[in-house]
C-alpha cells in the first residue's frame, strides 16, 4: 500500500456518531437473542439498512441494492443466540466508516481479493467461530436487500454449511414496535422538523412556483433545522395531480384556483414523523372548503379518544362512525395508518398497518408506539383528495398528536 493509504487505514478515527448509548444497544441485542431462542433460531443474518442501524448504529449512503452484478450486496451482521457480541462484516471501502458509525466490537473486513463479494469470507469466518452447526439460520426474506438472486446464494451457502434456512424478518421488525425513551425523544424532534417543513411549504406555494420549487424549500428548511433526508421522496402535487397520492413533484407550474397536496416527514437520527396537508391557492369553492372540513374533522374525534393503550378497534370504529355520520365514507380514498419510526430510503412505511376493516383487532397502541392516521377522500369538482395525514404518539402517561401545524385546508394568497 502507499504511505497515505497506510496512514488512513492504520490511524484514521473520525468522531463517533452513535445516536444511542451502549446500554441501549446491549438491551436490544439481549431482546433479539431472546426472540431467537423463542423461535428456535441459532443464527440471525441481517442485511436490511434498518436492521443494521437498529442493532449497531450503522448507516451509510450506499447499500449496493441496485448495483452491478460484479458488486453484490453481501455486507451484514451475524448474531448468534448464545454469544454476547455480534459480528459485523463489510467491504474494505467502508472500513473507516465502521469505526465511527457502529457500536460493533467485532468488525471483519472482506479481503482485498474479492473485496466486493464477501460471501465465502463470511461463511468461512462463521465456521471458524463455530457459529454454523446444524441449527436454523434466520434471513430477512422480506427485505429488498439482498435481492432474490443474492438471497438465494446466501441460502445455498448456509444450507451447504449444515444450517436450515428460515425467515427471520419479523424478529427485528416486531421489536421496533415499542420505542425506548430515547427513540421517543427523536420522534418528538422529528415532529418539530416536520412542522418547519409544512410552514416552508405554505410560504412557497404561490402562482408561478413549480412543484419542485416547493419541494426544494421544504427540504432546505428542514435541513437547516437539523433534519435528514426522508425515506420517501416528498410529493408535491398540484391541480389535477392533487387527485393522486403518490405522484412525484415535477416542473408543473402552480396556478391560482388550484389545490396543492404535500406529504412531508421530518427525520431525526433516522426516526420519522409524518404529515400531509392540502393547500388552496386563492379562495376555494364553498363546497370544496366544506368537504375538506368534514375530512379533517376526524382529528377532533381522534383527540377525544387518544390515550396510551388505545385499542386499535376503538380508533377504527369511532372514526368510521364519524365518517358515516357526516356522509363522506363512499368517497374515500385510503383511510387508516401504519407504524412510524426508524426508516431508510426507499420507504418510511413501518411494519404494522391498520385498516378500516380491522374492526375486531385485539392490537392496542401501547406506550412507546407511534403511527400515522390518513384521512383521504375525493373532494367535489375533482379539486383533489383531502390529503390529511397526522402523527399519533403514545407515551407512558399521555398520548397526543405532536405536530402543531393543524390538519385543515390552508388557503394561500393567489
DSSP 95-115: TTGGGTS---S-EEEPPSTTT
Q: What is the mean pLDDT of residues 218-243?
A: 98
pTM for this one? 0.96
d(CA 96, CA 9): 7
- pLDDT grade, residue 238 (50/70/90)? very high
- For 366-407, the pLDDT digits (tens) are 999 999 999 999 999 999 999 999 999 999 999 999 999 999
Residues 189 and 164 occupy one common structural domain = no
Residues 115 and 262 occupy one common structural domain = no
Q: What is the CA radius of gyration of the chain?
A: 24
d(CA 230, CA 209): 23
- pLDDT grade, residue 53 (50/70/90)? very high
> Distance of CA 47 to CAs 119, 140, 147, 391, 404, Å?
12, 7, 10, 28, 37
Distance between first and last Cα of the chain: 63
Residues 148 and 22 occupy one common structural domain = yes
- Helix ranges (H only) for 225-326 are 286-296, 298-305, 312-326
- pLDDT grade, residue 115 (50/70/90)? confident
Residues 109 and 238 occupy one common structural domain = no
Reply yes or no on whether the pLDDT at 324 is more than 80. yes
Tell me, what's the pLDDT at 67?
87
Final residue of a domain: which of 175, 190, 209? 175
Look over the chain and give the mean of its residue pLDDT values, rounded to a whole number: 97
Residues 110 and 29 occupy one common structural domain = yes
CATH of the domain at 243: 3.90.230.10
- For 118-170, the pLDDT digits (tens) are 999 999 999 999 999 889 999 999 999 999 999 999 999 999 999 999 999 99
- pLDDT grade, residue 112 (50/70/90)? confident
Residues 253 and 161 occupy one common structural domain = no
Residue 355: its H or E element: strand 353-355
Tell me, what's the pLDDT at 1?
58
Residues 397 and 316 occupy one common structural domain = yes
Final residue of a domain: which of 175, 194, 225? 175
**DSSP track, 24-58:** HHHHHHHHHHHHHHHHT-SEEEE-SHHHHHHHH--
d(CA 357, CA 370): 20
Reply yes or no on whether the pLDDT at 359 is more than 90. yes
Domain span including residue 29: 3-175
Residues 205 and 152 occupy one common structural domain = no
Residues 160 and 265 occupy one common structural domain = no
Place of cell 395531480: 241
Tell me, what's the pLDDT at 282?
98
Reply yes or no on whether the pLDDT at 300 is more than 90. yes
For the chain, percent of residues with pLDDT exceeding 90: 96
- pLDDT grade, residue 2 (50/70/90)? confident
- pLDDT grade, residue 114 (50/70/90)? confident
d(CA 213, CA 337): 29
Tell me, what's the pLDDT at 391?
98
- pLDDT grade, residue 197 (50/70/90)? very high
What residues are paired with 77 via a beta bridge?
Answer: 46, 88
Residues 364 and 400 occupy one common structural domain = yes
Q: What is the mean pLDDT of residues 349-354?
A: 97
Any residues with CB less than 8 A from the CB of 124 and at least 6 apart, and which?
none
For residue 331, give the nearest of 290, 377, 380 by alpha carbon.
377
CB 372 within 8 A of CB 391: yes
Place of cell 441501549: 24
My answer on whether omega of the bond before 146 falls inside 30° of 0, hence cis, is yes
Cα within 13 Å of Cα(98), Cβ side: 21
Q: For the chain, what is the domain count?
A: 2
Final residue of a domain: which of 126, 156, 175? 175
Amino acid at each position: 500500500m502507499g504511505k497515505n493509504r497506510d496512514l488512513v487505514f492504520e490511524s484514521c478515527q473520525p468522531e463517533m456518531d452513535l445516536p444511542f448509548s451502549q446500554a441501549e444497544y446491549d438491551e436490544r441485542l439481549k431482546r433479539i437473542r431472546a426472540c431467537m431462542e423463542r423461535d428456535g433460531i441459532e443464527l440471525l443474518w441481517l442485511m436490511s439498512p434498518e436492521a443494521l442501524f437498529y442493532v449497531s448504529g450503522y448507516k451509510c449512503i450506499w447499500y449496493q441494492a441496485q448495483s452491478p452484478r460484479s458488486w453484490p450486496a453481501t455486507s451484514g451482521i451475524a448474531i448468534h443466540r448464545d454469544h454476547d457480541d455480534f459480528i459485523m462484516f463489510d467491504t474494505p471501502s467502508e472500513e473507516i466508516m465502521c469505526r465511527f458509525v457502529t457500536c460493533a466490537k467485532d468488525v471483519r473486513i472482506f479481503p482485498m481479493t474479492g473485496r466486493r463479494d464477501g460471501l465465502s469470507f463470511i461463511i468461512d469466518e462463521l465456521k471458524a467461530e463455530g457459529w454454523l452447526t446444524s441449527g436454523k439460520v434466520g434471513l430477512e426474506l422480506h427485505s429488498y436487500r439482498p435481492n432474490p438472486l443474492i438471497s438465494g446464494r446466501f441460502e445455498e451457502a448456509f444450507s451447504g454449511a449444515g444450517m436450515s434456512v428460515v425467515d427471520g424478518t419479523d424478529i427485528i421488525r416486531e421489536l421496533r414496535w415499542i420505542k425506548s425513551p430515547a427513540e421517543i425523544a427523536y420522534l418528538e424532534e422529528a415532529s418539530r422538523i416536520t412542522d418547519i417543513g409544512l410552514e416552508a411549504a405554505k410560504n412557497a406555494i404561490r402562482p408561478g412556483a413549480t412543484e419542485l420549487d416547493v419541494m426544494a424549500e421544504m427540504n432546505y428548511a428542514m435541513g437547516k433545522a437539523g433534519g435528514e433526508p426522508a425515506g420517501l421522496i416528498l410529493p408535491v402535487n398540484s391541480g389535477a395531480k392533487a387527485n393522486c397520492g403518490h405522484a412525484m413533484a415535477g416542473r408543473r407550474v402552480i396556478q391560482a384556483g388550484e389545490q396543492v397536496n404535500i406529504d412531508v416527514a421530518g427525520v431525526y437520527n433516522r426516526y420519522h414523523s409524518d404529515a400531509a396537508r392540502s393547500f388552496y391557492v386563492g379562495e376555494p369553492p364553498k363546497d370544496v372548503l366544506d368537504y375538506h372540513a368534514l375530512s379533517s374533522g376526524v382529528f377532533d374525534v381522534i383527540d377525544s379518544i387518544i390515550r396510551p393503550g388505545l385499542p386499535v378497534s376503538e380508533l377504527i370504529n369511532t372514526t368510521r362512525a364519524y365518517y358515516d355520520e357526516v356522509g363522506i365514507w363512499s368517497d374515500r380514498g385510503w383511510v387508516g395508518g401504519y407504524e412510524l419510526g426508524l426508516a431508510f430510503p426507499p420507504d418510511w412505511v413501518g411494519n404494522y398497518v391498520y385498516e378500516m376493516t380491522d374492526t375486531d383487532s385485539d392490537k392496542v397502541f401501547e406506550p412507546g408506539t407511534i403511527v400515522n392516521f390518513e384521512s383521504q377522500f375525493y373532494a367535489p369538482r375533482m379539486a383533489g383528495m383531502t390529503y390529511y395525514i397526522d402523527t399519533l404518539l403514545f407515551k407512558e402517561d399521555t398520548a397526543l398528536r405532536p405536530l402543531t401545524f393543524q390538519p385543515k385546508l390552508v388557503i394561500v394568497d393567489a
